Amino acid sequence: MAAVLVLLSLLFVWSLVSARLARWSITAPIAFAVAGTVLTSGEHPALSLDMNTHTFQRIIELVLAVMLFTDATEAIGYERLGRTVGGGRLLGLALPGSIILAVLFGALLFPGTNWWLLTVAALCVMPIDLAPVLMFLRDERVPLRVRAALNIEGGFNDGLISPLFVFCVANLVTAEGDTFTDLLVNALKGAGYAVLAGGALGLLAAWLVRRCLAGGWATPDELRMASLALPFLAYAASVLIGGNGFVAAFVAGLCYARTAYAVGDNNLDLVYDASHLMALAVWFTFGGLIAKEFAEGIDLAVFGYALLALTVARVVPVVAGLTGTRFSWAERFAVGWLGSRGVTSIVFAVLAYTQLAGDDAAFVVNVTCATVLLSVLLHGVTLEPAARRFARNPRPDVPTAPADSAR
């Protein structure tokens, strides 16, 4: 109850002063992370975080499910642009390339580390999260295709990574007698059940919402509650039948998105607000993790890994993947550089922490916290210079080929 009181108090205070703090580039994620660090550090912290409980793990899983649902509904809206923004290349070429490079850099900096563990760490640090660069994405000085590319990648990458993350963690904690084939079959079954559960619920919800709205049984305002309930329903239904709840929530969002846009009247605002509140709680947890993991400083190898994950492992595959498109060199580099890390990485790291053994869990949390912390600092400093660079050298968003041609 103390944690709930603290978080609600922080939310209230932040709401009162957010406009003033925004002038100093102090965003909500930064404020809540700092609060988490201050309130959970020291020998006698004001608030203790116990992440080893089943309840805490379940809450974190629900946070990820809601985030995946909202990501799916936001990203699919860019289909209305009627032009390619390189999403297929970023997800199909750059993302796998980034993960592979992150694994190789991990092997170089942490010799002797289990390859499955290196892969789990890479899957934690490479998905982008756009909350730390939200102001940049709303800045009209930045070309629309750059903002759209980042939004689409941010919307879909965690949904694609989550089943692979679950599979790799399972290989690290596998019980005696479970073979690689057993784990692979279980992972595929879980993903299959999730697609069925999420797809069925998303399509059914879309049909029911349209019918009830047309028949006058509900108003758009009232249907916001239905949208809020859907990611939780998809997660719960999938888990009950042995599926992956994350994938189910993501698929449900994909199937429901067009109906939500058709209903209009900000049908998804309530679920977006809930996702934002959950994300702030995760940032607070991140602050607590920093206080715990880096109380005695950051290992040089961990810092080097974080720096490589944010630069070479991210920028090189993105620039290469967008080669041959109508993105200019400056735009390709901007998409690569501005792949900030945030809530998605933190949630994956916390899930790994609750399931892995001591040293393995500490390794994943260390590299993830270092990467997210460095991302907040570096991307926060470079956002305004990047926007000014585009303002000095404007390039119109010329129409491009149909979306499929860039994939």
Best CA proximity match to 317, nearest among 84, 102, 78, 83: 102
The whole-angstrom separation of Cα 276 and Cα 343 is 10
* pLDDT at residue 377 in the model: 84
* Token pair listed for 79: 């289909």
Fold of the 28-38+51-406 domain? Na+/H+ antiporter like fold (1.20.1530)
CA atoms within 13 A on the CB side of 301: 9
The whole-angstrom separation of Cα 127 and Cα 34 is 23
* pLDDT at residue 378 in the model: 87
Any idea where the domains of the chain sit in the sequence? 28-38+51-406
The whole-angstrom separation of Cα 77 and Cα 268 is 12
* pLDDT at residue 16 in the model: 85
pTM for the complete prediction? 0.82
Cα-Cα-Cα-Cα dihedral sign, residues 250, 253, 255, 258:
negative
The whole-angstrom separation of Cα 354 and Cα 88 is 33
What are the distances in angstroms from CA 72 to CA 2, 26, 157, 376?
Answer: 33, 28, 10, 24
* pLDDT at residue 406 in the model: 36
The whole-angstrom separation of Cα 26 and Cα 29 is 8
The whole-angstrom separation of Cα 248 and Cα 251 is 5
The whole-angstrom separation of Cα 291 and Cα 181 is 40
* pLDDT at residue 404 in the model: 36
What are the distances in angstroms from CA 73 to CA 79, 163, 202, 260, 344?
Answer: 11, 19, 11, 8, 16
The whole-angstrom separation of Cα 116 and Cα 170 is 10
Cα-Cα-Cα-Cα dihedral sign, residues 24, 27, 31, 34:
negative
Contacts of 193 (CB under 8 A, 6+ apart): 238, 241, 242, 243, 244, 248
Which 8-state DSSP code applies to residue 281? Answer: H
- DSSP state string for 351-368: HHHHHS-HHHHHHHHHHH
Neighbouring CB atoms inside 10 A of 227's CB total: 26
The 3-class secondary structure across 96-153, one letter per residue, is HHHHHHHHHHHHHHCCCCCHHHHHHHHHHHCCCCCHHHHHHHCCCCCCHHHHHHHHHH
pLDDT (tens, 9 = 90+) of the chain, 407 residues, equals 666 777 788 888 888 887 777 667 677 778 888 888 888 777 777 777 776 666 777 888 888 888 888 888 876 655 555 456 677 888 889 999 999 999 999 999 999 999 999 999 999 999 988 777 767 777 778 888 888 888 888 878 888 888 888 888 888 877 555 677 777 787 788 888 889 999 999 999 999 988 888 888 888 888 888 889 999 999 999 989 988 888 888 889 889 988 887 887 678 888 888 888 888 888 888 888 887 777 777 889 999 999 999 999 999 999 999 988 888 888 899 999 988 888 889 889 988 888 887 888 889 999 999 999 899 888 878 877 888 888 887 766 544 433 333 33
Amino acid at 79: E
Contact criterion met (CB below 8 Å) for 47 and 3: yes
* Token pair listed for 128: 């982008």
Contact criterion met (CB below 8 Å) for 225 and 41: no
Cα-Cα-Cα-Cα dihedral sign, residues 121, 127, 128, 132:
negative
* pLDDT at residue 82 in the model: 45
Contact criterion met (CB below 8 Å) for 371 and 306: yes
Residue keyed to tokens 């797809």:
199
